[in-house]
Amino acid sequence: MPKVMIRELEKLDFRTKEAYKTLRTNLSFTGKDFRVISLTSCTPNEGKTSVSFQLALSLAEDGKKTVLVDADLRRSVLRRRYRTGHEKYGLSHYLSGQAELEDTICETNVPDFHIIFAGPVPPNPSELLGNQRFHTLLQTLRAEYDYVIVDTPPLGSVIDGAIVARESDGTLLIIESNSISYKAAQNIVSQLEKAGCRLLGCVLNKVDLKRAGRYGKYYEKYYYSYYASTEEEGEPLPEPGTAEETKA
């Protein structure tokens, strides 16, 4: 199994860490049958890949053996952001029969956290994701891991996300705050329903607490009063008014 070193882990503020812990906990309450989880969004740049990565990382930190599958074969953000140069094969190699699964799974320097990178861009991404090898891949990973997190392309752009969602136990929809209309989100939900996939919920991403109104002020006041002892114990709290990247 190839080994890769993830050197630049994103530093999250206190509220964002708590949001991912909440998302992780909510996911655990869906039951043991929901272990292969795909993530999609309406449009690009809503932070879907960041949520996928941080969710998988949070699960691994909780002692759950987790693999993150980069199924965005058209324009992989994960490959550009975290690629280390040590992985030789990716998902597109496996799906096209050029590599075996064990050659594509990369062990990271984070315990219980493995990654399958997308690999080079193929000429037929939808066909590859819809073939039997992708179904076999998910079934094999399901038997080896506690959670399989699959990052997919935005469903509002291409159909790939629906194809993956059909093979998953459930899907999370990532929505950027104040950027996506209700109608656009409803259209994506309808596509997921047509694909026969179960929508587990939505993650409201890139929430700016400075513009969150009364709720944002209450949120800040609550955390600063309730967790004041944390700061006394040496763990710094974020400055008031900082933007929260993820609100579960």
CA angle, corner 111, sides to 110 and 113, nearest 5?
70
Number of H helices, E strands in the chain: 11, 8
3-state secondary structure of 220: helix
Ramachandran angles phi, psi of 48, nearest 5°: -60, -45
User: Amino acid identity of 164?
Assistant: V
How do the domains of the chain map onto residue ranges? 14-208
> Which two structure tokens, joined as six digits, stand for 247?
């609100």
* Sheet of 105-107, strand order: 105-107, 113-116, 66-70, 147-151, 36-41, 170-176, 199-207, 244-247
* Contact between residue 56 and residue 66 where contact means Cβ atoms under 8 Å apart: yes
Q: How far is CA 111 from CA 50, 64, 70, 151, in A?
A: 19, 9, 19, 20
Q: What is the pLDDT of residue 8?
A: 67
* Contact between residue 40 and residue 173 where contact means Cβ atoms under 8 Å apart: yes
Q: What is the pLDDT of residue 231?
A: 41
| Residue 132 CB contacts under 8 Å (≥ 6 apart), including other chains | none
Along the 248 residues of the chain, how does pLDDT read in single tens digits? 888 887 767 778 888 888 999 999 999 999 889 999 999 999 998 989 999 999 999 999 999 999 999 999 998 888 777 765 566 899 999 999 999 999 999 999 999 999 999 999 999 999 999 999 999 999 999 999 999 999 999 988 888 999 999 999 999 999 998 888 889 899 889 888 888 888 999 999 888 766 655 555 544 554 444 444 444 444 443 443 334 444 44
Predicted TM-score (pTM) of the model is 0.82
Ramachandran angles phi, psi of 217, nearest 5°: -65, -40
* Contact between residue 245 and residue 18 where contact means Cβ atoms under 8 Å apart: no
Q: What is the pLDDT of residue 223?
A: 45
CATH class of 14-208: alpha beta
Ramachandran angles phi, psi of 62, nearest 5°: -85, 10
Detail the DSSP E strand segments found in 129-229: 147-151, 170-176, 199-207
Q: What is the pLDDT of residue 4?
A: 83
Q: What is the pLDDT of residue 83?
A: 60
